């Protein structure tokens, strides 16, 4: 039986491939979904990838994960830097939660250097493009994310 994992994506991530490819790469959102689900299958994980531009929906998905003790990989997008509602929902986690970023926030604008999510996450993987998601999934499968 596969272990369920939610891969949650915040605002603008559905525009991967067309949105600032010099920053976020050329892989489309569909490509991200395919890469995550394929690796998940190899690792014995049942990966479900979701994306929303709605902060409330992302919070509801974190509640769903907490209620079901489902591990999460999350790219909160811009919500990373200011959404205390999202931070409080992530803090309710009952399974590992790994924050991911495609780019390296610390190599970008000053406002991106702060993550309100990081303090309540098991860990953060950033700066490796789509590979950040794959590293996070491997950490969950290997049990190296608390």
Is 113 a known active-site residue? no
User: Under DSSP, is residue 79 helix (H, G, I), strand (E, B) or coil?
Assistant: helix
- CB-CB neighbours of 102 under 10 Å: 22
Whether 93 and 99 have beta carbons less than 8 Å apart is answered as no
Whether 141 and 114 have beta carbons less than 8 Å apart is answered as no
How many Å apart are CA 98 and CA 21, to the nearest integer? 24
112 is in an annotated binding site: yes
- CB-CB neighbours of 89 under 10 Å: 22
Catalytic residue among 101, 106, 113, 133: 101
- In 21-137, where do the E strands start and end? 45-51, 72-75, 97-101, 123-126
81 is in an annotated binding site: yes
Q: Which residues pair with 6 in a beta bridge?
A: 48, 72
Q: Which residues pair with 8 in a beta bridge?
A: 50, 74
103 is in an annotated binding site: yes
Catalytic residue among 24, 29, 63, 84: 24
**So which residues are the catalytic ones?**
24, 101
Known binding-site positions: 75, 81, 88, 102-103, 112
Known binding-site positions for substrate: 75, 81, 88, 102-103, 112
């Amino acid at each position: 039986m596969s272990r369920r994992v939610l891969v949650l994506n915040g605002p603008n991530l559905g525009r991967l491939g067309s949105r600032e490819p010099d920053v976020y790469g050329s892989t489309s959102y569909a490509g991200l979904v395919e890469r995550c689900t394929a690796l998940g299958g190899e690792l014995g994980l049942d990966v479900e990838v979701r994306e929303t531009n709605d902060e409330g929906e992302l919070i509801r998905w974190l509640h769903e994960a907490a209620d079901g003790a489902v591990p999460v990989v999350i790219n909160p997008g811009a919500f990373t830097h200011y959404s205390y509602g999202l931070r409080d929902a992530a803090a309710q986690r009952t399974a590992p939660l790994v924050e991911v970023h495609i780019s390296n926030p610390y190599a970008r604008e000053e406002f991106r250097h702060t993550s309100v999510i990081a303090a309540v996450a098991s860990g953060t993987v950033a700066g490796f493009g789509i590979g950040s998601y794959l590293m996070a999934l491997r950490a969950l499968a290997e049990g190296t994310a608390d």
